[in-house]
Structure 1
Amino acid sequence: MGVRLPATMSNGALWLRRFATTTPGVISAVLVVTAVLCVFSGFVSANQLGDKIARRDIVLERTEPLAYAAQSLYVALSAADASAAAAFLSGGIESPEVRGRYQQALADAAGALAEATTGASDAQTRSIVARISADLPAYTGLVEAARANNRQGFPVGSAYLREASTLMQSSLLPNAEQLSNNRFAAVRHDQDDIGAVPLTSVALLLLVMIACGVGSFVLLWRTNRRMNLGLAAAAAATAIVLLWSVAATLIAATGVDTGKSGASTRFETLAQARILAQQARTDETLQLITRGDITAGEADFIKHTHALADRLASTTGPESAAAQAFASWTAGHGRQKDAYEAANYPAALAQAIGTAPESSATRFAALDDALRNELAQVRAELRDGVDSAGGSLAFSPSGTLILMVFAAAAVTVGLWSRLKEFL
């Protein structure tokens, strides 16, 4: 036997069912549903737009600086390897300048590693940091062993240096590159979030407008009133919020342009170009250590310089300082290769690590400076774009919430005047 409601509750439920079929009941239902939907849509819209502004702050304060630090880590590690090779090739006791470049590169790498992994909590980043932290002391130990043997004229020094470079090329640099790729992926993800249309908000706002339309139809059907000012005002306010949300987001998406010609893409491409340049410079110096067949090393050099040329062509243009420095450096490498193949090792060595204006070392330094300057300019463009994207979203969270609360109030006032006719 079923449980029966008390008479008072049963009568109340029956009254509500009957009231819901009357004109005042239908109007009351429209009022409650539409007003609640207005307020809910306002909170959702404000929250989504506010998240975009917060994401802008995250890009400027965290993800972009970490991406820049990650590529700086790779460059510093690669520069340390090239400097160690140059110090070894100089023979005996290297000059304070060469030694200083190596020590500075290691210090830069340590600083960049600390900055690039600040606040990292994911397992992949912790694993990368652990591997780099374990390999870096081993690398420096091998370099110091090579240096000590080289100063005493022991041939085994070259074996230590090759082992150190192998550790750098097979572990340290791949881990640094993976960290850099992860950091740039995070920048792209945050930028995509800023420029993405808030679909949930758009759907809810369209639902509010439909509810206002349904309410107007109900009033026409039940009361023969063609228009209700409250519902019309609510629909107008909702339309303003909808246009504001979409327009602000589209303007923000323009600011964080992630297309092929956008600052974000050029920033990442130039970072990759600088990494490729360091890889090619390492190939160039390591060729002279073994004093044997350089075919494999030259193939790696050509592979890296061709990839570097493609990136420069897509970002800086043929007349840029970076492109000109690149052409000058590769021409110098050609002279180094010709001297080596002519069995003129001293000339090849002087071209590779000498201090003359036409040496590969001098010309590569000019290329790296040009790439660093290009990267700084594009980085500034990227940050300005992200900052302006946040500016286009300014006041949108509070503005949309206020308008939707106004819409709810307009619905309440407009339909309450109709309800009073039945009281």
Structure 2
Amino acid sequence: MRSRLPTTALRNAAEWTRRFARTAPGVMGAVGAALVLLALIAGLVTANQQGGKITRHDTALAHTEPLANAAQRLYVALSSADAAASTAFLSGGIESPQVRTRYENALSDAAAALAEATTGASDARTRDILAKISAELPTYTGYVEAARANNRQGLPVGSAYLRQASALMQGSLLTNASDLEQTRLRQLHDDQDAITRLPLWSTAALLILLAACGYGSWLLLRRTNRLVNAGVAAAAGLAALALLWVVGTTVAAAAAIDTGATARFESLAQARILAQQARTEETLQLITRGDMGASEQRFTASSDQLRATLSSTVGVNSEAGQAFSRWQDGHHREVAAYLANNYRGAVDQAIDATVAGSAAEFDAMDAALKTELERTRAQVRDDVNTAGNALTLSSAGTLVLLLAAAGAVGAGVWPRLKEFL
């Protein structure tokens, strides 16, 4: 008998709840509670997603973009060091201070970029890539110094050391640096996409809240015969305002971030890489003193890609484009001298730092590309910063609007509910 009492009480309570739910107060209370709950959920979801966008913006400026730039600088510095080492070897004996300084500066740039990239390494793959580069770079410099020492004594084995150094650079160091650069650029793209993407959960939550306000108003109309409930109407207006804020900030952020600038940054970085590859090939083909056929094919392949990249980014008539054309003309004179058995003339053409030399024209082209790359990088950062300005206060602002919407529902429904109680 005692065991039946709780069951009977529960059954009676459930029956009373069902009967109350069919009454006007029951319907009004359910509508008010549901709308308040939906407004609170929408507020939390929207504030969380807008806050996430602001976090990705901060991450892009402080972490992702600088690391992408560091990876690009690491690749270019390593390539430049390899090209400078080959140029120094071609100088014969004791290289000029300018050539030696260029090599040492390239190594210093690579070390600085490597340190910056290592500081921001957070995933296992990136740490593994950086560990390999850090371990192999001293080996590379050791080969170069061995080549330099033998070259100063006129020993032919020096060229073998230099070829070994270049093989290590091209086959491993630059391959790993390229993987690192692509990884960092993908992360930058991911952050930009996160900033400019429409937050689907927030949009869905706000649309559901608006639909619920409309349906709730219809239910209240049937029970109270009042055409409009001011509180529910105000909640709907606040939800619509929050939705417009979310959509507006997304559109503004998407308009601010020019993905073309990021693509241009990638293209210019690739142009510098292709140029360094071609320059290394240009000097190595003179060091080997053999058939230039295979080496010239590789040089031409890199040059053709570089020409196409320059044409699509800075234009053939730009400073970099004109320097590229002069460099190619100098290279043709170098090849012609080599094929005419004028080895000294070919070497002079390759390493001459005066206006007529290939080295000078290559340096002019690389300097122009570096300037354009830095300008484009500044534009990328400005775009991301502008997008962040559009997102300012959106997280707190939408949360306040939806908390106000929840309060408006309570303020609008409670007086009507009291009329029946």
Tell me which interval the TM-score lies in, with the shorter structure as reference length.
over 0.9
Counterpart CA distance in 1 for 2:272 and 2:51 is: 36
1:100 partnered with 2:101 = yes
Task: Give the deviation of 1:337 after TM superposition.
Answer: 1.3
Q: Matches of residues 340-355 of structure 1 in structure 2 within 5 Å?
A: 340-355=338-353
1:205-263 deviation line (CA, Å, top 9, x unaligned): 000001101111101222222211111111111111111101111110111122xxx21
The question of 1:188 aligning with 2:189 is answered yes
Contact persistence 2:67–2:120 (CA under 8 A): no
What amino acid does structure 2 have at the position aligned with 1:295? Answer: G
C-alpha displacement of 1:3: 6.6
The letter of the residue matching 1:287 is Q
Q: Per-residue CA shift, 1:36-73, capped at 9, x if unaligned?
A: 11111112111111111111111111111111110110
String of CA shifts for 1:363-402, please: whole Å, max 9, x gaps.
1110110000000111111111000000111111111111
Partner of 1:110: 111
Whether the 8 Å CA contact 2:230–2:412 is kept in 1: the answer is: yes
**Offset at residue 7 of structure 1 (A):** 5.2
1:385–1:2 distance in 2 versus 1, CA, 3 Å? farther
* 2:150 aligned partner: 149
- Given that residues 257 and 384 in structure 2 are in contact (C-alpha distance below 8 angstroms), is that contact kept between their aligned partners in structure 1? yes
Match of 1:273 among 260, 271, 274: 271
Q: CA deviation at 1:9?
A: 4.4
* Distance in 1 separating the partners of 2:416 and 2:11: 29
SS in structure 1 of the partner of residue 94 of structure 2: coil
Give the Cα separation in 2 of the matches to 1:239 and 1:317: 48
Aligned with residue 397 of structure 1, among 389, 395, 398: 395
- C-alpha distance in 1 between matches for 2:357 and 2:374: 26
Give 2:237's aligned residue: 236
Paired residues for 1:359-378 under 5 Å: 359-378=357-376
Q: Which amino acid aligns with 1:318?
A: V
**Map of 1:24 onto structure 2:** 25
The one of 324, 327, 348 aligned to 1:326: 324
CA distance, structure 1, for counterparts of residue 97 and residue 3 of structure 2: 96
**Structure-2 residue corresponding to 1:206:** 207
* Alignment root-mean-square deviation, CA: 1.5
Question: Could you tell me how far apart the structure 2 residues matched to 1:232 and 1:145 are?
Answer: 82
Show the counterpart of 1:41: 42
Task: State the alpha-carbon separation in 1 of the partners of residues 11 and 61 from structure 2.
Answer: 61
Q: When the two structures are aligned, how many residues end up with a matched partner? A: 420
- Distance of 1:265 and 1:119 partners within structure 2: 23
1:120 is paired with a residue of what secondary structure? coil
In structure 2, C-alpha distance between the alignment counterparts of 1:321 and 1:24, rounded to whole Å: 79
Q: Name 1:413's counterpart in structure 2.
A: 411
Contact 2:242 2:398 (C-alpha < 8 Å) held by counterparts: yes
Q: Identity, % of aligned pairs?
A: 58
Please tell me whether residue 356 in structure 1 is matched to residue 354 in structure 2: yes
Whole-Å separation in 2 of the counterparts to 1:22 and 1:268? 66
- In structure 1, the residue matched to 2:289 is 291
Where does the alignment leave 5 or more consecutive residues of structure 1 unmatched? none
Does structure 1 retain, via aligned residues, the 8 Å contact 2:310–2:321?
yes
- The SS at the match of 1:225 is coil
1:31/1:412 contact within 8 Å kept: yes
1:123 corresponding residue in structure 2: 124
User: Which AA in structure 1 matches 2:264?
Assistant: R
Kindly indicate whether the alpha-carbon contact (under 8 Å) linking 2:63 and 2:120 is maintained by their aligned counterparts in 1: no
- 1:194 offset after TM fit, Å? 0.2
Amino acid corresponding to residue 183 of structure 1 in structure 2? R
Classify the secondary structure of the residue corresponding to 2:119. coil
Report Cα offsets for 1:331-388 as digits up to 9, x if no partner. 2111111111111111110110112211111111101100000001111111110000
Q: Is the 8 A contact 1:66 1:117 kept in 2?
A: no
Unaligned runs of 5+ in 2: none
How far apart, in 2, do the equivalents of 1:389 and 1:2 lie?
Answer: 68
CA shift, 1:105, in A, is 1.1
